[in-house]
Each structure stands twice: as C-alpha cells, then as structure tokens.
Amino acid sequence: MSPKPRSQHQHNTTPQAHLRGLGIGRWFKNVWQLSRKELQSLLGDVTLMALVAVVFSVVVYSVATGITSEVKNASVAVLDGDRSALSYRIRDALQPPYFQTPVVIAREDVDALMDKGDYVFVLDIPPNFEADVLAGRAPQIQVLADATAMTLAGMGSGYINQIVQQEVAAFTHSGSLEAALPIKPVVSVWFNPNGETPWFTAMMQVLASTTLLSMIVAGAAVIREREHGTIEHLLVMPVRASEIAMAKILTNSAVIALAAWLSLRLVVMAWLQIPINGSIALFMVGTVLYLFSMTSLGVWLATLTPNMPQFGLLCLPIYMVTRLLSGADAPLEAMPQWIQQATQFSPVTQYAKFSQDVLFRSAEVAIVWPQLAAMTAMGAVFLTLALLRFRSMLARQG
C-alpha cells in the first residue's frame, strides 16, 4: 500500500512557520550586529562620552551642593532704635549658618543698601521697644525683605518671626508661644527628617540628566550617520529601517542606563552620602522603560531636523518645558488644574512620579505599575513615529 499523503494544510503551514522563524531570528541577529557597530561608534565619540561623564558626576554634585531652598547665610541689617537688652538679644539670636552676623546701619542708608542688594533683610526695632514689651503694649518690629530672592525672603521672614517671638518670650519669662496654645502640634517629617535639600536635588538631577542625554545621544546617533555619510553604507546592507532604528535605541538606552546607575551608586550614595530607601533594581527597571520612550523620541526628533544645531534647538524647549511641568522641581499640586491634566501625557512626569515613589517612599510594583504602563505606552507611540519618519528619511537618502 502506498503511504497516505499529507494533508494540504500540513504541507502549506510548516514552511511558512519555518520562514517566519528565520525572519524573526534574522531580525534579532541584525539588531545585535548593528548594536555592536553603534556601541563602537558611540564609545569612539570622545566629546559625547565626556559630556555623559560630566553631566552624571560633576553636574549632579554641583547642583546638589550648590542649590538649596533652605535659609542659609542670609545677609541681615538692623535699625536698632531702642539699644536695649532685648534688642541686643534679638540681634545676637540671628546666627550662622542661617544668617550672617547682623550689621547695624543708619536709617538714611536703608533705601540705598536695599536697592544695591547688600542685604536681604532689614530689621527695624523701634524706640522704647523693651519698655513697651514689659508694659504689655505689644509693639511691632518691621522686617524689610528683598523679595527678588523669593524663596529666601519668604522662608527667612518666617525664621526671623519665630526667633523674635522666642527671644521676647524668654526675656519676659512668659514661656514659648506653643506653650500658651491649648494644643501642642507634633510634626513628623517622613523620608527626609532633617529637611536637607541635597537629598532631593541630587536624585532629581540624575533624572534631569537622564532625560536630556537620552534625547541628545539617540538623536546625535542618527544625525551622525547623515553628516559622516555612513548612512549610505546602511542603505546597501540587507537590513531594515526598524533594525537600524532599534539598534540605536537599545544601544544608547543601555549606555545612559549604566551611567545613571553609576551616578546613583558613586555620586549620590558614595560621594554625597545620601541614603536611598527604595529598591534600586525597581528604579532601574523603570529607567529602562523610560529610556526606551525618550530615546525613541530623540530618534523621531532627529528625523525632523537636518543637522545637529537645529536638533539641539528643537530638544532644548521640549526638555525645559517637560521638566518644569513634571513635578521634579515644583509640586504638580501648585500648578493650574489643566496643566496637571495635560502633563500626565508626558513621560517625564510619569518618570518623576515613579522615581520619587520608589527612591524616597520605598514604593513597590503594586503602587508604581500605572507609571510603568504609561511610560511603556508612550514609548510605543514614539517608536512608531520614529520608525515611520526613519523609513521615509532612508527612502529620501536612497
């Protein structure tokens, strides 16, 4: 008996599945080879690699130690019209590191010194201040503040008010203001007990560096191919546009992710001695998804511009606006409602919220999964736009 012939269904599907498997395998192999070529090109760009090293080390350290929202070393002048024991006591209470040593000035010099910005605060203690306090007449001390230093003026005025109240209460033996209240407030500060600004600014600068460099490095990789003429080499190779674009995205994402991890370990934790409460492993997972989104955006923007200067001019406003509205520098709750809703469609906002939850509050996946999903979805959108533009760019080059 002759063998039973195979069904037509078996004869047709097996070769097609085999070809599909070969196609997928070839795609991954091409991406791997192109990624190796892209890594060699990136590491050979000394200027770009130096920029990455400086931004993730020197810049992070400088921002963390040089920018503060606390009252520190504020200049103070005093108009002492009383020259009593109480007025001297108030003057002596304004001490470093919050304030510089107070300087006594004349009344006619106040306007000129404030106009020149020599002093942020001027305390005007009226005559007979001590006598009026002891007589229970509740005299007033005027505090002039230079509000061009907005944060310093606002917080410093509160510091001065508290110092004056404490000194008056101690001088009159009336106890503190809190002791006179029917209730006693107890304040518990979480995640940053001492209220140290570097704990926050250092980590947020790592986020800012990741955002900026992910766009610039990925976009520069595309523009470098055009300016060096090597894109013609890619056109004659048996590779697809998706393979070329994906190799650039994966390679540049890997380099920036490694730089961000080293910055957290070596600069933030070792150099600045800032503790990290959350899981660095979870943070790096979110960083990889975020870099997938931002490098795709960088590749897309690079296809819209003909050269590196125009690409930089396009990236800069996008970076500045998305960062300022992300909640990394100022809380979203302080912004108008429509901006709070609109900025949720920015991957920078989702990454800032994710990073603060993980690094500061020790959040786990069950809490931050919406941000992870949002960054992945936005990355898919940017990748689609990048591939469409990249294919058309290659077609024009060909």
Domains located in the chain, CATH noted = 31-66+195-397 (no CATH), 76-180 (3.40.1710.10)
Residue 42 near residue 255, CB atoms below 8 Å: yes
What letters, b where the CB count within 10 A reaches 16 and e where it falls short, cover 134-171? eeeeebebebbbbeeeeebbebbbebbeebbeebbbeb
pLDDT in tens, 4-55: 444 444 444 444 544 455 578 888 888 898 889 889 888 888 888 999 999 9
Name the percent of the chain lying above pLDDT 70.
Answer: 88
**Does position 113 have pLDDT exceeding 80, yes or no?**
yes
pLDDT class for 232, splitting at 50, 70, 90?
low
Q: What is the pLDDT of residue 346?
A: 94
Region for 195 from its dihedrals, namely left if φ exceeds 0, alpha if ψ lies in -120 to 50, beta otherwise? left
Q: How does pLDDT run across 285-294, given as a tens digit for each residue?
A: 999 999 999 9
Q: What single letter denotes the amino acid at residue 115?
A: D
Tell me the whole-structure pTM to 2 decimals: 0.78
* Phi, psi (rounded to 5 degrees) for 123: -95, 125
Q: Helices then strands (H, E): number in the chain?
A: 16, 4
Q: What is the mean pLDDT of the segment spanning 148-176?
A: 83
CA distance 119 to 145: 8
The residue-averaged pLDDT of 330-336 equals: 87
> Which amino acid type is present at position 105?
I
| C-beta separation of 211 from 319 below 8 A | yes
- Looking at residue 338, its pLDDT comes to 93
